[in-house]
Amino acid sequence: MRNSNYDDLLALAVRYLSPQLAYDWLIELARILKLQADYSDDSHHDLLVRNITIQLCLSIQSSLGFKGDFKPRDFGGKNAWIILQLRNIVVLTTMAANLVIPGSSPNEKILPLEDPEIITALTGSVRWVLDLLSWLIDSLLSLPRTIPPNVNLTEASKLSLSHLEAYLYSSNDNSLHLLLASTTRGFLTAICRRLQHLDYIAVKAIIVPTVSSGNHTPISDPLRTAYREIAALTSSATVRLEIILTLLHSVSSTIRNINANHTSPQGTPVSSEKVRNLLEIKMLFGGPFPEIFKAVIAELYMEDGLLETLREDIDEGQLFFTDFGILELDENEVSINKKRRMNMTMDCFKKKWIQNPPERLTDTLGSIDGSVIDLDAENLWKRPAPRWRRCTRCTAVSEEISMQRQSVQWLVLQQRRCFCSGYWCILAPGETVA
């Protein structure tokens, strides 16, 4: 089904589906496809990354939640959109660290992490992930200050999940779902470990001498420069990777203990794989939290709880003033108008803003109003510019990459499809839409 094209069905369904009906449809689709969404036992992350059914279901949810450029996504669509991008970066960094690319000759082997162009291309993804982790912590810490007074996060017996969920849906705040669902927690854990490994290589590359010395292989200046930028990002992160991993591990341990000692409303132990999987599927799609998670939420927000212990290691002032614009998660009217005025678009692969091409005034030698055309302005269209690839499903944009070198060819092949698994449409030079 992954290779099937169902974009026509989604284009029709999005006109008639309400958020609740879309959610019910996804739950039924997960049942039909036997979706495995329970990774609360800290299964190996490779199993999670290879779970194509998760990508398929989230791709459908993301498409159903997309309302058009400069229009806010609904809660489920935004949740799926975040997870799909996170998953894509996990896949890229994992393959870059583990694959060996055949070179131009039979005996030549290329390691992606030894190619400066690949490291430079991954820099934007590293920045995006670090900003996502900071945004997650900022949103979790801000929640007690923004929720209605009738929602008590510190005592499980007084916590109303229905009131909490109503607030999260109305404010489009996905942070708690991202933390409590084992699937997204697994992706977050995986990317933190990948970035720790990348940071270790970056620091090692910086201190290795340029010329051959002893057992050290010389490192080129472009590669050293690329790794220096990676090291600068990780060392200056608002929230350190170790802090995130500690929180993720603590939440996972708390959930495992609660699952082992509780039963579902039907009397089935929550430790049962079938029951746990159904609960995890609902949270993955942004659905309600199970009643037993009241204790987990209280453990997070109680005095001396899991989040409170993190405050000592976080500069909340710096966190408050951090610009999370690269994430494109703030979809209020002010943020949308600011993005529109920027006249720039996010490259979903390089994770950097790219300038929109200027609007073309005419297709002939004369201007629209009959006036004389400035030759320099007209010649702008003759200058070579990277062509855009736009996803036919989520409309994400990525610039075309030159494929002259073997390693870069490998990099482009990893992006045959958009992160949402949609197909690319190659646009004409200077065009932004098909």
Domains in the chain: boundaries: 16-210+217-327, 333-359+382-426
Q: Which tokens belong to 199? A: 């940071």
Contact 405, 331 (CB under 8 A): no
Q: What is the pLDDT of residues 398-409, one digit of tens each?
A: 988 765 666 667
- Whether the predicted pLDDT of 380 surpasses 50: no
Q: Which residues contact 193 (CB under 8 A, 6 or more apart)?
A: 45, 245
- Whether the predicted pLDDT of 377 surpasses 50: no
Query: Where are any strands of DSSP class E within 269-399?
Result: 344-347, 352-355, 388-391, 397-399
Per DSSP, what are the bridge partners of residue 388?
A: 399
For helices 52-65 and 273-284, angle between their N-to-C axes, nearest 10 degrees: 30
Q: Which residues contact 386 (CB under 8 A, 6 or more apart)?
A: 354, 399, 400
Per-residue pLDDT, averaged over 111-136, amounts to 93
- Name which of 73-77, 84-88, 89-93, 261-265 the model is least confident about: 261-265
Q: What is the β-pairing status of strands 344-347 and 352-355? A: antiparallel
Q: What is the pLDDT of residues 127-182, one digit of tens each?
A: 999 999 999 999 999 999 999 999 999 999 999 999 999 999 999 999 999 999 99
Rounded CA separation 150/308 (Å): 21
Q: Which of 188, 148, 162, 170 is nearest to 72 (CA)?
A: 170
- CA 237 from chain center: how many Å? 17
Contact 137, 121 (CB under 8 A): no
Contact 30, 37 (CB under 8 A): yes
pLDDT of residue 335: 87
pLDDT of residue 261: 78
Residue with tokens 């958020």: 19
Q: Which tokens belong to 36? A: 């495995």
Reported pTM: 0.90
- Whether the predicted pLDDT of 2 surpasses 60: no
Q: Which of 157, 144, 191 is nearest to 295 (CA)?
A: 157
- Name which of 95-104, 308-317, 363-372 the model is least confident about: 363-372
